Amino acid sequence: MIIQVLKSKIHRVKITQAELHYVGSITIDEDLLDAANLIENEKVQVVNVNNGERLETYVIKGERGSGQVCLNGPAARKAAVGDIVIIISYAGMEHEEAKSYKPVLIFPDERNKLI
Protein backbone atom coordinates (compact mmCIF):
# COMPACT_ATOMS: atom_id res chain seq x y z
CA MET A 1 0.00 0.00 0.00
CA ILE A 2 1.26 3.49 -0.89
CA ILE A 3 0.60 6.26 1.65
CA GLN A 4 1.28 9.99 1.52
CA VAL A 5 3.78 11.29 4.09
CA LEU A 6 5.49 14.58 4.81
CA LYS A 7 8.54 14.90 2.53
CA SER A 8 9.69 18.48 3.07
CA LYS A 9 8.66 21.58 4.98
CA ILE A 10 9.77 25.20 4.91
CA HIS A 11 8.43 26.40 8.25
CA ARG A 12 7.29 30.01 8.67
CA VAL A 13 8.65 32.04 5.77
CA LYS A 14 7.42 35.52 4.92
CA ILE A 15 5.63 36.32 1.67
CA THR A 16 7.79 38.91 -0.12
CA GLN A 17 5.64 39.41 -3.23
CA ALA A 18 2.20 38.61 -4.62
CA GLU A 19 1.87 38.81 -8.42
CA LEU A 20 -1.77 38.42 -9.45
CA HIS A 21 -1.20 38.75 -13.21
CA TYR A 22 1.09 35.77 -13.62
CA VAL A 23 0.45 32.26 -14.92
CA GLY A 24 0.50 30.76 -11.42
CA SER A 25 2.66 29.03 -8.82
CA ILE A 26 4.95 30.01 -5.95
CA THR A 27 8.44 31.36 -6.56
CA ILE A 28 10.92 30.38 -3.83
CA ASP A 29 14.57 31.36 -3.30
CA GLU A 30 16.71 28.53 -4.69
CA ASP A 31 18.71 28.34 -1.44
CA LEU A 32 15.49 27.47 0.42
CA LEU A 33 14.54 24.92 -2.25
CA ASP A 34 17.90 23.16 -1.98
CA ALA A 35 17.83 23.13 1.83
CA ALA A 36 14.29 21.72 1.88
CA ASN A 37 14.93 19.14 -0.85
CA LEU A 38 12.31 20.69 -3.15
CA ILE A 39 12.62 20.93 -6.93
CA GLU A 40 11.18 23.18 -9.59
CA ASN A 41 7.64 22.14 -10.64
CA GLU A 42 7.12 20.06 -7.49
CA LYS A 43 3.61 20.23 -6.07
CA VAL A 44 3.41 21.98 -2.70
CA GLN A 45 0.78 22.95 -0.19
CA VAL A 46 0.97 26.50 1.16
CA VAL A 47 -0.60 27.18 4.56
CA ASN A 48 -1.05 30.83 5.57
CA VAL A 49 -0.53 31.31 9.31
CA ASN A 50 -2.06 34.81 9.23
CA ASN A 51 -5.44 33.98 7.67
CA GLY A 52 -5.78 30.18 7.62
CA GLU A 53 -5.85 29.90 3.82
CA ARG A 54 -4.52 26.68 2.31
CA LEU A 55 -3.71 26.12 -1.33
CA GLU A 56 -1.85 23.76 -3.63
CA THR A 57 0.44 24.94 -6.40
CA TYR A 58 3.84 24.17 -7.92
CA VAL A 59 7.32 25.56 -7.34
CA ILE A 60 9.30 27.96 -9.52
CA LYS A 61 12.96 28.66 -8.69
CA GLY A 62 13.58 32.15 -7.36
CA GLU A 63 16.84 34.05 -7.31
CA ARG A 64 19.38 32.32 -5.08
CA GLY A 65 20.06 34.23 -1.86
CA SER A 66 17.18 36.67 -2.43
CA GLY A 67 14.85 35.39 0.29
CA GLN A 68 12.07 35.55 -2.30
CA VAL A 69 8.76 33.82 -1.60
CA CYS A 70 6.19 35.05 -4.12
CA LEU A 71 2.66 33.79 -4.68
CA ASN A 72 1.71 34.11 -8.34
CA GLY A 73 -1.57 34.12 -10.24
CA PRO A 74 -4.84 33.49 -8.39
CA ALA A 75 -2.86 32.28 -5.34
CA ALA A 76 -1.75 35.91 -4.87
CA ARG A 77 -5.23 36.60 -3.45
CA LYS A 78 -4.61 34.06 -0.65
CA ALA A 79 -1.83 36.02 1.09
CA ALA A 80 -0.56 39.54 1.58
CA VAL A 81 3.06 40.63 1.50
CA GLY A 82 4.40 40.04 5.01
CA ASP A 83 2.12 37.07 5.77
CA ILE A 84 3.83 34.04 7.30
CA VAL A 85 3.35 30.73 5.46
CA ILE A 86 4.39 27.11 5.78
CA ILE A 87 5.30 25.34 2.55
CA ILE A 88 4.80 21.56 2.59
CA SER A 89 5.44 18.73 0.14
CA TYR A 90 4.36 15.12 0.46
CA ALA A 91 5.63 11.89 -1.09
CA GLY A 92 3.99 8.56 -1.75
CA MET A 93 5.79 5.54 -0.37
CA GLU A 94 5.21 2.06 0.90
CA HIS A 95 3.93 1.84 4.45
CA GLU A 96 7.08 0.12 5.75
CA GLU A 97 9.40 2.66 4.11
CA ALA A 98 7.30 5.50 5.53
CA LYS A 99 7.84 4.23 9.07
CA SER A 100 11.56 5.05 8.90
CA TYR A 101 11.50 8.00 6.49
CA LYS A 102 12.77 11.30 7.94
CA PRO A 103 11.36 14.42 6.28
CA VAL A 104 13.49 17.49 5.62
CA LEU A 105 12.37 20.41 7.79
CA ILE A 106 13.92 23.87 7.57
CA PHE A 107 13.31 26.90 9.77
CA PRO A 108 14.45 30.10 8.01
CA ASP A 109 14.89 33.37 9.90
CA GLU A 110 12.63 36.45 9.66
CA ARG A 111 14.35 37.46 6.38
CA ASN A 112 13.77 34.04 4.79
CA LYS A 113 17.45 33.17 5.15
CA LEU A 114 18.83 29.83 6.31
CA ILE A 115 19.94 29.75 9.91
Beta carbons within 10 angstroms of residue 54's beta carbon: 12
- Identify the CA nearest to 66 among candidates 8, 16, 115, 9: 16
- Annotated active-site residue in 8, 22, 58, 90: 58
- Annotated active-site residue in 25, 66, 90, 100: 25
* 58 belongs to the catalytic site: yes
Residue 21: what are its φ and ψ, rounded to 5°? -90, 70
Catalytic positions are: 25, 58
